[in-house]
Structure 1
Amino acid sequence: MDELRTTIFSSIFSRALQRLLTEAVQPGERVLWRGQPDGVARMMMWRFLWWIGLPWLLVTAIAISRGWVGQSTVPLLMVGIMMVAAPFVMWLHDLQTLFAITNRRALIVRTAWGKPTVSATHFEDMDGTFEIADIGRGAGHLNFASGRSTRSPDTDYTGRYGFRCVRNPAGVGDILERARRRTA
């Protein structure tokens, strides 16, 4: 799985991400830490879709070969293909995301699908204590703000916002907490 982390895609996306991060950093602001989501951990979190999608495609292929389905062939195939492809699409989305901690704020920089975005959370807008949710494989979610819109890809269903699927979330949380204490 480590081969997936070091692909040609990561080098292509990293240049655009670095350029966007450089543009987002304000004068006098220093980047203390940067990292990307662990796309492989997210893929493994959603691997149950493969367990559903592959048998779905197999049953659909059998149904097509025996003539059981007529005009519904394309929708049935598309559902199976989407289930199998979804974890890979999430991995590509994670390759286009960069997390950064500066001496003033936490940044989430994204160039996903040609739409560059920068989301910043200043230290004073963060919760008093951070929440870490372990997802396995050494990765987890580091939630540092709450009450956010659930429409953001970096917010869970309760409105907790932060770095999703980050490697070593406890270590990253320590870096963020030290930066926040120095600023206060």
Structure 2
Amino acid sequence: MDEIRATPFLAGLRRLLAETLQDGEQVVWQGQPDGVARMIMWRFLWWIGFPWLLLTAVAAGNDWIDQAAQPLMMLGVAMVAAPLVMLLHDLQTLYVITDRRALILRTAWGRRTVSQTPFRAMDTAFEILDIGGGTGHLNFASGRSTRSPDTDYTGRYGFRCVRNAPRIRDILEGARAGKVRRSPAQ
């Protein structure tokens, strides 16, 4: 296992991977998004959410807001909880490079999804967007629907918040070129 953390979701991800692999398909690399990096990217919500909750509690306690207190409190809780929800979502995600395609597997919230990109559907050049701390987005396909959590606002699709993105790009390029080497410790 290259970059997989033991979580309560790991067994479900492994079952989904086993069901998804085609006959003779070989896993070259597998890993998970860096959920802590994504959570830190959205930490500004904490800077807004905690003061929001404090001000809402003070306003409700002083009867400055009457019926608006509950919706305002719920909005503050949502801002504080959002980065943690993103972390949970990332813990239920598995990125896989095989000798035939790239896969993004999810068991998030009880819904099992598989997104696959065969090598022939990938862009000729892969793009890395560095987000700091040794983490980045590895984009390998364009023109995808922006509804996917793995697509940015321009339609660039790939592995989000992956550690050591240049190394993962090299592994993906090698697999696409047919220079497949099975990952150690698998």
Fold-level match, TM-score > 0.5?
yes
From 25, 28, 34, the equivalent of 1:29 is: 25
**Runs (5+) with no aligned partner, structure 1:** none
| 2:113 maps to 1:117 | yes
Residue 182 of structure 1 pairs with residue 178 of structure 2: yes
Counterpart of 1:127, as a letter, is D
Q: Name the structure 2 match of 1:163.
A: 159
Task: Confirm whether residue 85 of structure 1 aligns to residue 113 of structure 2.
Answer: no
Counterpart in the other structure of 1:12: 8
**Distance across 2 between alignment mates of 1:11 and 1:90:** 15
Q: How many equivalent residue pairs?
A: 176
> How far apart, CA to CA, are the structure 2 residues paired with 1:33 and 1:127?
19
Q: Which secondary structure does the structure 2 equivalent of 1:94 belong to?
A: helix
Aligned residue for 2:122? 126
For the aligned residue pairs, the C-alpha RMSD in angstroms reads 1.2
Within the alignment, does 1:151 sit opposite 2:166 as a pair?
A: no
Which residue of structure 2 aligns with residue 108 of structure 1?
104
* Aligned AA (1:69): I
| Aligned twin of 1:54 | 50
Identity of aligned residues (%): 66
Paired amino acid for 1:86: A
C-alpha displacement of 1:158:
0.2
Q: Are residue 66 (structure 1) and residue 62 (structure 2) matched?
A: yes
Deviations 1:118-159 (A, max 9, x none): 111000000000000011121110000000000000000000
User: Following TM superposition, where does structure 1 have runs of at least 4 consecutive aligned residues deviating by more than 3 angstroms?
Assistant: none
1:45 aligns with 2:48: no
SS of 1:11 mapped into structure 2: coil
Q: What amino acid does structure 2 have at the position aligned with 1:120? A: Q
In 2, the alpha carbon distance for the partners of 1:136 and 1:59 equals 33
CA shift, 1:65, in A, is 1.2
Kindly provide the CA deviation profile for residues 12-37 of structure 1, in whole angstroms up to 9, marking residues without a partner as x: 10110011001100001000000000
Query: Taking structure 2 as the reference length, what is the TM-score of the superposition?
Result: 0.92
CA contact (8 A) 2:150 2:157 kept: yes
- Structure 2: distance between partners of 1:169 and 1:136: 11
Aligned-residue offset at 1:11: 2.2
Looking at secondary structure, tell me which structure has more helix per residue. Answer: 1
Instruction: Give, in whole Å, the separation in 2 of the partners of 1:151 and 1:177.
Output: 26
> Residue 99 of structure 1: SS of its match in structure 2?
strand
Of structures 1 and 2, the one scoring higher in RCO (CA 8 A, sep 6+) is 2
